Amino acid sequence: MKNQTIDLILQRRSVREFTNQPIEAEKLKQIVECGIYAPTARNKQNWHFTVITNPETIDEINRLTFEGMQRLGLKREPDYHVFYHAPAIIIMSSLIEGFSELNCGCAIENMAIAAKSLGIDSCIVGQTRFMYHQANAADINRMLKIPEGYEHDAAICFGYRHGENPEAMPRKEGVVDYIK
């Protein structure tokens, strides 16, 4: 049976090579709205979305992340960009209380699927947490307009992919059991 939503979910990939074409403001608003409509435990909606399209700010977050990784002894290629030079990123933060990370995960996945439906690709990025290992957290949160009491969860970058859609990686077997 053919189902457009299921097809979209199965076609979505983490893309790591983007063109420099900006994402249209209306499309970005739709993507964010889909994130806001994600389910949350007890309808807390205890999240905050920081939408960044300013290239200098994106590069600054990349620099801070790289410095944090260096401080922890983590290696990466010198020309590596944590957001793969995507033209838009969203930083997810939340009040750290029951299931906040799960709530943000639901929002991020909603946004990734919504973006794909609009012809925009994405990559979920967890490395941004390393930026907090080398700088004052309050300064970073202020730069990212993260509200007081909220903590960084993850990020997702968006853009128009350069090249072909990556092939799906093989799926592990033996990860499902049915109890009837």
- Domains of the chain listed by start with CATH number: 13-159 (3.40.109.10)
Distance CA 108, CA 119 (A): 17
Distance CA 16, CA 75 (A): 18
Q: How many residues does the chain have?
A: 180
How close are the terminal C-alpha atoms of the chain, in Å? 24
Question: pLDDT 10s per residue in the chain (180 long)?
Answer: 789 888 988 888 888 999 999 999 999 999 999 999 999 988 989 999 999 999 999 999 999 999 888 888 888 887 889 999 999 999 999 987 778 888 899 999 999 999 999 999 999 999 999 988 866 888 889 999 999 989 899 999 999 999 877 888 888 899 898 899
Q: What is the pTM of this model?
A: 0.91
What's residue 135's pLDDT?
65
C-beta separation of 40 from 103 below 8 A: yes
